[in-house]
């Protein structure tokens, strides 16, 4: 087991041992970033970004000028060993995603695992993630919950839904606006249309919406007009 002792080393200094930093970025409002996250992004040698165009907006807003390199689900296997080699040779890198905390339904796991296996020190900063505010705001129990992220599109989807129908903890799902109604309709089939549900979209943004009711209520509400923004579905566990 590795034990890391942290001290406040000042705004411009990085840890003497850490090579890779996982840095959460705002899920909407650009002000939802920590001062420490900005310090790290200013100090590292390279920033790894899921989408360099999306990240460029955030970095420009905070006047951060650092080399940016793409790291996403389509290239992570290809660049993995090269990144680990660079980290072992002294490069300091920060990994950010389009929004939220790296590794939560976003790329990070493979790189973190490879770094740990290679003895490269990894540090994860606390910060924004979409499911926490959606859960707390849902009015559903928060003492015990399970986070499933995005459901499989095809293989294993029905099996997972059947399993979740028996789950007694509060259930959290991510979904795209295009698939929201389909997913809620499937939840009706497996959970029953009266199961309590909360749907949050555009969290922290100007048009944030949190709708609470039964699954059927949510379907009726979001079927009335086109849905935009990233979606978090929170479902009550089986009574």
Per the domain annotation, does 78 fall within a domain?
Answer: yes
In a shared domain, residues 102 and 76: yes
- Residue 5: pLDDT band with limits 50, 70, 90: very low
CB-CB neighbours of 67 under 10 Å = 10
Q: Considering 124, 152, 178, which residue would you say is the last residue of a domain?
A: 124
Mean pLDDT value of segment 225-232: 94
Q: Are residues 119 and 205 in the same domain?
A: no
The pLDDT-based confidence of 13 (bands split at 50, 70, 90) is: low
Cα–chain center distance at 209: 19
Q: Is residue 120 located within the same domain as residue 142?
A: no
Say if residue 115 is in the same domain as residue 136: no
Report residue 4's pLDDT band, with 50, 70 and 90 as the boundaries.
very low
Strands (E), the chain: 18-22, 46-49, 68-70, 93-96, 121-124, 145-150, 170-175, 196-201, 209-214, 231-235
- Report the range of poorest mean pLDDT among 12-16, 80-84, 107-111, 165-169: 12-16
Residue 158 lies in a domain: yes
Which residue, 199, 181, 223, is CA-closest to 130? 199
What sign does the CA torsion over 28, 29, 35, 38 have?
Answer: positive
- Give every CB contact of residue 135 below 8 A, 6+ residues apart in sequence: 142, 145, 170, 172, 234
- 115 and 97 part of one domain: yes
Task: Flag whether 177 is in a domain.
Answer: yes
- In this structure, the answer to whether residues 110 and 169 fall within a common structural domain is no
Cα gap 217→227, rounded to integer Å: 15
Tokens describing residue 38: 């900005």
pLDDT at position 9: 45
Work out the average pLDDT over 107-133: 97
Domain-terminating residue out of 124, 157, 177 = 124
- CA end-to-end span of the chain: 39
Band (pLDDT 50/70/90 cuts) for residue 14 is confident
Residue 54, domain member (yes or no): yes
Please state the rounded mean pLDDT for residues 162-182: 97
Q: Please, which pLDDT band fits residue 135 given cuts at 50, 70 and 90? A: very high
Check if the beta carbon of residue 129 is closer than 8 Å to that of residue 106.
no
Same domain, 140 and 110: no
The mean pLDDT value of the chain amounts to 94
Residue 7 pLDDT greater than 90, yes or no = no
Cα(214)–Cα(111) distance, integer angstroms? 40
Q: Answer yes or no: is 198 within a domain.
A: yes
**Greater model confidence, 117 or 7:** 117
State how many domains the chain has.
2
Same domain, 50 and 81: yes
Which CATH number covers residue 150? Answer: 3.30.950.10
In this prediction, residue 61 has a pLDDT band, given cuts at 50, 70 and 90, of very high
CATH number at residue 76: 3.40.1010.10
| Full domain range(s) for residue 152 | 131-235
Same-domain check for residues 92 and 141:
no
Single out the residue in 83, 100, 124 at which a domain terminates. Answer: 124
Residue 217 falls inside a structural domain: yes
Regarding whether 224 and 187 lie in a shared domain, the answer is yes
Backbone angles phi, psi at 84, to 5 degrees: -65, -40
Q: Work out the pLDDT band at 63, boundaries 50, 70, 90.
A: very high
Task: Read off the pLDDT of each residue in 109-126 and give the average, rounded to a whole number.
Answer: 97
- Side-chain-facing half-sphere of 92: CA atoms under 13 Å: 16
Pick from 228, 177, 175: nearest CA to 205: 228
């Amino acid at each position: 087991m590795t034990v890391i002792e942290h001290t406040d080393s000042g705004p411009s200094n990085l840890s003497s041992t850490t090579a890779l930093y996982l840095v959460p970025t705002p899920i909407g409002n650009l002000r939802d970033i920590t001062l420490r996250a900005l310090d790290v992004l200013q100090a590292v040698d390279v920033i790894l970004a899921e989408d360099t165009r999306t990240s460029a907006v955030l970095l420009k807003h905070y006047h951060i000028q650092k080399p940016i390199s793409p790291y996403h689900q389509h290239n992570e296997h290809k660049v993995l060993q090269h990144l680990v080699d660079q980290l072992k040779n002294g490069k300091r890198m920060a990994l950010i995603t389009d929004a939220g905390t790296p590794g939560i339904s976003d790329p990070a796991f493979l790189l973190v695992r490879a770094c740990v296996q290679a003895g490269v020190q990894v540090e994860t900063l606390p910060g924004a993630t979409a499911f926490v505010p959606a859960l707390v705001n849902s009015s559903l129990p928060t003492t015990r919950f399970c986070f499933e992220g995005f459901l499989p599109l095809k293989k294993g989807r029905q099996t997972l839904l059947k399993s979740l129908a028996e789950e007694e903890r509060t259930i959290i799902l991510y979904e795209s606006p295009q698939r929201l109604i389909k997913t809620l309709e499937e939840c009706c089939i497996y959970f029953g249309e009266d199961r309590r549900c909360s749907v949050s979209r555009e969290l922290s943004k100007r048009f944030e919406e949190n709708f609470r009711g039964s699954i059927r209520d949510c379907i009726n509400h979001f079927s009335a007009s086109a849905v935009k923004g990233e979606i978090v579905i929170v479902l009550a566990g089986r009574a």
